[in-house]
């Protein structure tokens, strides 16, 4: 029997065992039970199983959103570094392959979209879109960012979890009890799972006053066919070759195209609409919400005029939490995560999911099964900080959408943070791999949980606070924007060649001359804690060997 045949036979055996448990024909006793679904849950299960724990994955009472998955995900260099970190730390080279489109598993590449830019187009209700109110961050070739198809990624991650030894059940959790020794989960069809540790990753709806709906669509017109590229007067890349976020007062519409690269075989487009309180109408159907928003935005209405929805809606307003979720948040054997109810914005959904996988896997593998309180308490604190930071970014961005100058300014602060986080995490990963000590990555330092340039948290925090001041009407949006731009001009940590502080620099192209100027700046002017991040690979664009 070949190695491939052996792996397929083993996977089939594990699935059969899991099915027997789900239907009450057997009971399962494991170290770790995870209640949840989707790629994040499966990747966590794979990491914990690969580390030697016995793991069971139990679907939640109600699937996230109550419907099929919708919009696709989007990567950035920081999320790619997270994939490399998880792969290297937990012995999962398969996860490392997610860092670059060209290294991704063939079935994922074929189903997913490529990404040559991250674009933002601001719309004002009932007005023709102003070409001056656009921003595009162009992706350097060596980053090979992409837009993973959610359904394909979910299926791939589930197979990976099974291959690493996790039991992925088909029967949903019906009830659970926790004791000083562990947890028991009773399944809807009669089976049961007992576990020493429980991860509750069951779905949760969006925070009050926010709603996200997402689905796959066919026949979506590329935006560059609605508004000609020449109209912008800038060296933009076609919007359909990347992730584009259309902002409007009180929300945004994210569009991700598949079939836009040479290796693609998939078609269709992911559409995700996020709205704040001014657009939320209780009980409104998703189709009606989309139609009402598009009625105010002529170019987006034209883009979706011929579109046909191909899947059910994934709707955070329809997500029904497990009635027992949250009742044991302080239980020393329970780790509560909410990986599936986060708005697609700035690649945050995938980024946050991978951060939670890393945090939870490290704690579950380090925990003493007889006395896990300290390990899980630390992980709970770190997860809460990550979730709170994400929520703050979404809240600030919703506030910023009232004014393009504030959107423009806040995007620069986010891009600076994303670039430096990617560089800093790479440095931390390489240092940890060289020393064999990964514990410096398990600190309780909040949202910035690894060593970043000292000024970065203050810059990001102050920029979010400026947007929050605008939301609370303490500061006019244009004044808040001016503060952010002034900060980006004055802080020594901000590379001047990127012109982050210039509101008119709305296209970011990482050309070779810019890379060389960055190297000169880094070796002469940049603060010392920035210089240590700029390796030859970071600056020149040369690609390190593939990590498998």
**Together in a domain, 304 and 408:** no
Residue 1: predicted pLDDT: 36
Residue 358 within any structural domain of the chain: no
**Together in a domain, 417 and 545:** yes
Strand partners, 181: none
Cα–Cα distance measured from residue 54 to residue 35, given in angstroms and rounded to the nearest whole number: 14
Q: For residue 540, what pLDDT band results from cuts at 50, 70 and 90?
A: very low
**Together in a domain, 123 and 244:** yes
Residue 513 contacts by C-beta under 8 Å, 6 or more apart in sequence? none
Strand partners, 177: 184
**Together in a domain, 131 and 230:** yes
Q: Under a CB-based contact definition with an 8 Å cutoff, are residues 35 and 43 in contact?
A: no
Residue 341: predicted pLDDT: 57
**Together in a domain, 412 and 287:** no
Cα–Cα distance measured from residue 279 to residue 229, given in angstroms and rounded to the nearest whole number: 30
Residue 168 burial class via C-beta count within 10 angstroms: exposed 0-12, middle 13-18, buried 19 and up:
buried
Residue 546 above 50 pLDDT?
A: no
Residue 456 within any structural domain of the chain: yes
3-class secondary structure, 254? strand
For the chain, the domain total comes to 2
**Together in a domain, 420 and 534:** yes
Q: Under a CB-based contact definition with an 8 Å cutoff, are residues 354 and 75 in contact?
A: no
Q: Indicate the average pLDDT of the chain.
A: 87
Residue 525 within any structural domain of the chain: yes
Residue 175 above 60 pLDDT?
A: yes
Strand partners, 269: 217, 257
**Together in a domain, 415 and 528:** yes
**Together in a domain, 410 and 277:** no
Residue 475 contacts by C-beta under 8 Å, 6 or more apart in sequence? 466, 469, 483
Residue 50 within any structural domain of the chain: no
Domain final position from 265, 286, 317: 317
Question: Which tokens go with 84?
Answer: 């490399």
Tens of pLDDT, residue by residue over 109-154, are 999 999 999 999 999 999 999 999 999 999 987 678 999 999 999 9
**Together in a domain, 295 and 413:** no
State the DSSP H helix or E strand holding residue 194, giving kind and residue range, or none if neither: strand 192-200
Cα–Cα distance measured from residue 463 to residue 460, given in angstroms and rounded to the nearest whole number: 5
**Together in a domain, 288 and 411:** no
Residue 477 within any structural domain of the chain: yes
- List the single range of 218-232, 440-454, 513-527 with lowest mean pLDDT: 513-527
Residue 453 contacts by C-beta under 8 Å, 6 or more apart in sequence? 420, 424, 493, 527, 529, 530, 533
Residue 328 above 70 pLDDT?
A: no
Strand pairing category for 314-315 and 211-218: antiparallel
Residue 297: predicted pLDDT: 97
Nearest to 279 by CA among 261, 291, 268: 291
**Together in a domain, 133 and 257:** yes
Domain final position from 317, 343, 374: 317
- List the single range of 436-445, 490-499, 538-547 with lowest mean pLDDT: 538-547
Reported pTM:
0.91
Cα–Cα distance measured from residue 212 to residue 448, given in angstroms and rounded to the nearest whole number: 26
Residue 309 within any structural domain of the chain: yes
- Provide the domain limits for residue 527: 403-425+437-548
- List the single range of 45-54, 256-265, 367-376 with lowest mean pLDDT: 256-265
Tens of pLDDT, residue by residue over 345-391, are 888 889 999 999 999 999 999 999 999 999 999 999 999 999 999 99
**Together in a domain, 303 and 421:** no
Residue 175 within any structural domain of the chain: no
Q: Under a CB-based contact definition with an 8 Å cutoff, are residues 44 and 109 in contact?
A: no
- Residue 192 Cα distances to 201, 239, 353, 402, angstroms: 18, 49, 28, 50
Domain final position from 298, 317, 336: 317
Write phi, then psi, for 509 (nearest 5 degrees). Answer: -125, 120
Residue 238 within any structural domain of the chain: yes
């Amino acid at each position: 029997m070949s190695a491939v045949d052996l792996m397929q036979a083993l996977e089939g055996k594990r699935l059969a065992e899991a099915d027997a448990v789900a239907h009450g024909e057997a009971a399962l006793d494991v170290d770790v039970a995870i209640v949840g679904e989707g790629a994040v849950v499966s990747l966590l299960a794979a990491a914990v199983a690969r580390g030697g724990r016995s793991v069971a994955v139990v679907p939640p009472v109600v699937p996230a959103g109550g419907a099929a998955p919708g919009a696709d995900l989007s990567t950035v260099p920081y999320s790619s570094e997270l994939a490399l970190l998880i792969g290297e730390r937990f012995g999962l080279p398969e996860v490392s392959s997610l860092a670059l489109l060209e290294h991704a598993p063939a079935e994922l590449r074929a189903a997913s979209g490529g990404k040559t830019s991250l674009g933002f187009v601001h719309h004002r209700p009932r007005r023709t879109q102003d070409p001056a109110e656009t921003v595009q961050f162009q992706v350097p070739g060596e980053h090979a960012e992409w837009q993973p198809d959610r359904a394909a990624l979910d299926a791939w991650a589930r197979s990976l979890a099974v291959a690493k030894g996790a039991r992925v059940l088909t029967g949903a959790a019906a009830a659970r009890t926790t004791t000083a020794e562990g947890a028991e989960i009773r399944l809807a069809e009669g089976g049961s799972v007992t576990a020493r540790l429980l991860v509750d990753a069951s779905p949760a709806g969006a925070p009050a006053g926010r709603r996200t709906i997402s689905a796959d669509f066919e026949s979506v017109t590329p935006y560059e066919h609605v508004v000609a590229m020449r109209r912008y007067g800038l060296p933009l890349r076609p919007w359909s070759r990347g992730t584009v976020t259309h902002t409007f007062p009180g929300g945004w519409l994210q569009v991700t195209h598949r079939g836009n690269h040479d290796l693609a075989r998939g078609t269709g487009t992911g559409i995700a609409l996020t709205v704040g309180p001014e657009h939320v109408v209780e009980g409104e159907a998703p189709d009606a919400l989309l139609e009402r928003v598009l009625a105010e935005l002529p170019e987006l209405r034209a883009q979706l005029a011929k579109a046909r929805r191909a899947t059910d809606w994934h709707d955070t307003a329809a997500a029904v939490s497990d009635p027992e979720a949250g009742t044991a948040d302080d239980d020393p054997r329970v780790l509560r995560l909410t990986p599936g109810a986060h708005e697609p914005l700035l690649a945050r959904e995938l980024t946050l999911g991978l951060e939670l996988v890393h945090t939870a896997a490290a704690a579950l593998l380090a925990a003493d099964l007889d006395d896990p309180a300290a390990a899980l308490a630390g992980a709970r604190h770190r997860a809460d900080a990550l979730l709170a930071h994400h929520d703050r970014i979404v809240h600030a961005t919703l506030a910023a959408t009232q004014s393009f100058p504030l959107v423009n300014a806040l995007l620069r602060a986010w891009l600076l943070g994303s670039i430096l986080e990617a560089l800093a995490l790479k440095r931390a990963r390489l240092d940890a791999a060289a020393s064999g000590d990964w514990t410096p990555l398990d600190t309780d330092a909040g949202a910035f949980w690894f060593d970043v340039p000292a000024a970065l948290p203050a810059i990001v925090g102050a920029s979010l606070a400026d947007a929050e001041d605008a939301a609370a009407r303490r500061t006019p949006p244009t004044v808040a924007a001016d503060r952010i731009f002034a900060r980006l001009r004055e802080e020594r940590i901000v590379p001047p060649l990127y012109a982050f502080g210039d509101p008119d620099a709305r296209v970011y192209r990482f050309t070779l001359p810019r890379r060389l100027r960055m190297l000169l700046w880094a070796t002469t002017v940049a603060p010392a804690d920035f210089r240590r991040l700029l390796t030859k690979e970071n600056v020149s664009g040369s690609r390190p060997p593939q990590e498998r």
